[in-house]
Amino acid sequence: MGTPQTKSDPNTARLSGLSLPKGAGWASAARKSALERVITMGLPGRRDEYWKYTDPKGLNGPVAAEAAIIDSTDAPGFSADSLKIVFVDGVFNAEASDDLTLAGIEIDRLEDVTASDIHWARDVYGVLEQAGQDPVARPLAALNTAVASDGVVIRATGKAAKPVSILYMRKSETADVVLHHVIKVENGAELTVLEDGSAAARLNMVIEVDVADGGAFHHIRTQGREHERQAVTHIFGRLGQESLFKSFTLTINGALTRNEAVLEFTGDNATAHVAGAAVGDGKFHHDDTVFITHDAENCESRQVYKKVLRNGARGVFQGKILVKAGAQKTDGYQISKALLLDDDSQFLAKPELEIYADDVICSHGSTTGAIDEDALFYLRSRGVELAKAQDLLVLAFLADAIDEIDDDGICEELLTRLQAWLERRQD
C-alpha cells in the first residue's frame, strides 16, 4: 500500500529515452503523463510485493525473447457470426478485416483517433489506467499507455448487431507488440467483444472499458496455444449504475502470462463477473491478478478462476476485493482453484479482502489439490479407462469457470479446445 515511490532502476535511462508516438495534443499529453508515471514507479522487479510470485523479467526487459511459432492449422476465430478485426504481428490488417461498420457501434483505429483533436476517447485513454494505479502500481500498463500506437477504439451507442471479434495472427518469431484498446459502452448499450490468438512473441496489451449507466459489456478471450510466447494484459473497467461487465479468459500454454483485471464500481446496483480457465504444461507460468473496488452501493462482484497444471507448470492467483467505506450491501465472491496433475507443479495464491463497510457479504475460497481419487475410482469401476477418466475430471473441474460465459455455443467451442489440449498430451 501507499503512494508509489521513485526507484532507481537501470531501466530508467532507457525509459526516459523512449520516443512516444505522435498525435494530437490530448493524446501526446496522455502519453507523456503515462511515461512520467512509469519513471516514477519504476518497472516491476522481483522484490515488488505485487510480483512476489511472477518474475517480470521477460516482460520488462529491453528486447523480447524469441518465441517459436507452432505448426498449427487452426486460424484464430470463433464460429459465431461476428465482425472481424485482424491484427498481424500487432499491426491492424485492413485486408483481412471486415468492413468496420456495424449497426449500434462505431469502430476506429487508435492511430486515427489519437491524431484527431476532438474525440470522446480522450476521456478514457490512459484515464482508467491511471485510476487503476492506486493503491497498487501497475507500471507495465502505464508503459503501454505511453508507447501504444495501435489498437481499436469502439463505442457502442445501442445494442451491437453482432459481436466484434479481434483476432491476432502471428507471423514473426520476435514480434514485440504493444496494443491498447479503448471501449465505451454508452447508456443502455450492449457490446460483446471476442478475442483470439497469441498476438506476439511478447505482448503488452491494455483494454480500457468504460461502461455507462445501464450498459452491458461481455468479453471472451482466448490467448492462443503457443508455448513460448509471453504476455502481460490489463483490463481496466469503470462501471456505472446498473451496468454489467463480464469477462472470461481461456489460456492454453504460454511461457509467461500475467492477466490483470482492475475494475471499479462507481454507480450503484452494478454487476461484474470475471473468470478464467488456464491449462498448462511444463514451461508454463500463468498469473491472474484481479483487483475489484466497490465504491458504490449494492453491487455484486464475482471472481472464478481455475487452473490445471502439470509437468512443473506454475499457476498464480492474486485476487482482491476492496470495499470502500459507504459501499453498503456489497456482495463480493471470489474463488480460485488449482488442480495439480503431478508433484512438480505449483499453485501460489493470495486471495485478499479489504473491507471498510459493515453491511456486506464477502467471501473467498481457495483450494489446491490432486484429482479426487474417489471420483477417479468411480469412473474406473464403470469401465472408463484411466486417461479418459482423468480427462473427464479435468474438464468437469474447468467447467465451473467456463459456465460463467452466457453464450452456450462459445462454451462448447472452448470445451472442444480443452479436449484437444488434453488429447494432444496423451502421447
Partner 1 sequence: MAKAEDLKVKDGVDQDTVEAVQSISGTYKYGWETDIEMEYIPKGVNEDIVRLISDKNDEPDWMTQWRLAAYERWSQIEEPTWAMVDYPKIDYQDLYYYAQPKSMAEKPKSLDDVDPKLLETYQKLGIPLKEQMILAGVEGAEDQPAEGRKVAVDAVFDSVSVGTTFKEELAKAGVIFCSINEAIENHPDLVKKYLGSVVPPTDNFFATLNSAVFSAGSFVYVPPGVRCPMELSTYFRINAENTGQFERTLIIADKGSYVSYLEGCTAPKRDTNQLHAAVVEIVIMEDAEVKYSTVQNWFPGDENGVGGIYNFVTKRADCRGDRAKVMWTQVETGSAVTWKYPSCILRGDESQGEFYSIAIANNYQQADTGTKMIHLGKNTKSRIVSKGISAGKAQNTYRGLVSMHQKAKNSRNYTQCDSLLIGSNCGAHTVPYIEVKNNSSRVEHEATTSKVDDEQLFYCRQRGIDEEAALALIVNGFAKEVLQALPMEFAMEAQQLVAISLEGSVG
Chain contacts with partner 1 (rule: CB under 8 A) = 1-2, 49, 325-326, 328, 338, 340-370
Element (H, E) at 205: strand 202-211
Sign of torsion, CA 195 288 329 135?
A: negative
DSSP class of 17:
T
Q: Which is nearer to partner 1, 365 or 409 (CB)?
A: 365
CA distances from 92 to 72, 83, 196, 240, 254 (A): 22, 14, 14, 31, 23
Q: How far is the CB of 364 from partner 1 (least distance, A)?
A: 5
Q: CB of 356: closest distance to partner 1 in angstroms?
A: 5
Q: Cα–Cα distances in Å, from 182 out to 99, 125, 133, 211, 379? A: 19, 6, 17, 11, 47
Beta-strand relationship, 256-265 and 285-294: parallel
The residue type of 233 is: T
For residues 355 and 415, which CB has a smaller minimum distance to partner 1 in the complex?
355
CB of 109 or CB of 364, closer to partner 1? 364
Q: Which is nearer to partner 1, 121 or 308 (CB)?
A: 308
CB of 338 to partner 1, least distance (A): 7
In the complex with partner 1, the residue whose CB is nearer, 42 or 90, is 42
Buried-state track 416-425, b at ≥16 Cβ within 10 A, e below 16: eebeebbeee
> What does the radius of gyration of the chain's CA atoms come to, in whole angstroms?
21
89: left (phi over 0), alpha (psi -120 to 50) or beta: left
> Which spans in 313-385 are helix H?
373-381
* Cβ 262 to partner 1 shortest distance, Å: 18
Q: In the bound complex, what is the minimum distance in angstroms from residue 325's beta carbon to partner 1?
A: 7
Give the residue with the Cβ less far from partner 1, 74 or 372: 372
CB of 299 to partner 1, least distance (A): 15
